Amino acid sequence: MKLIINKYSSQLLYLVFGVLTTIVNIVVFGVGIKFGLNTTFSNILAWLLSVLVAYLTNRVWVFGSKAVSFGEKIREIITFFYYRGVTLLLDLAIIYVGVNLLHGQPLIWKIIDNVIVIILNYVLSKVFIFKNNKM
């Protein structure tokens, strides 16, 4: 069991912090909807807060960032937010189609959307953002 945990520690930590990030994302989205904000604005606000949580946790505990200089850290955070911005476009499209075109329940579509985005974010983080770190 310990061997499995060590072998997949990065993925397990990503899962744990991914759940935390997803909770932040869904709660902020739901609160925005409850207070009368439209789905797009609620989604962007949820994205901003959850990406901040994701960066802070992923950098240290999931991917073990080796960036030490100011320039390395700036490159890393810009790259992180850039790729999260790319997946935000997918996120917005899924919510738009699910809620506005298919007239589905917003929180159900938010959960579906999060599953897809989380998987894509892991791949992008591993391949492009924290590529020179432990994994």
Read off the pLDDT band of 133 (50, 70, 90). low
Distance CA 126, CA 135 (A): 8
Distance CA 50, CA 70 (A): 23
8 Å CB contact between 44 and 34: no
> Who's near 128: CB < 8 A, 6+ residues apart?
79, 83
Q: Give the pLDDT of residue 2.
A: 76
Distance CA 115, CA 135 (A): 21
pLDDT of 93-124, one tens digit each?
999 999 999 999 998 998 899 889 888 988 99
Residue range 41-50: mean pLDDT, rounded: 92
Distance CA 34, CA 28 (A): 10
Q: Domain spans of the chain?
A: 2-129
pLDDT of 10-45, one tens digit each?
888 988 998 899 899 899 999 999 999 998 899 899
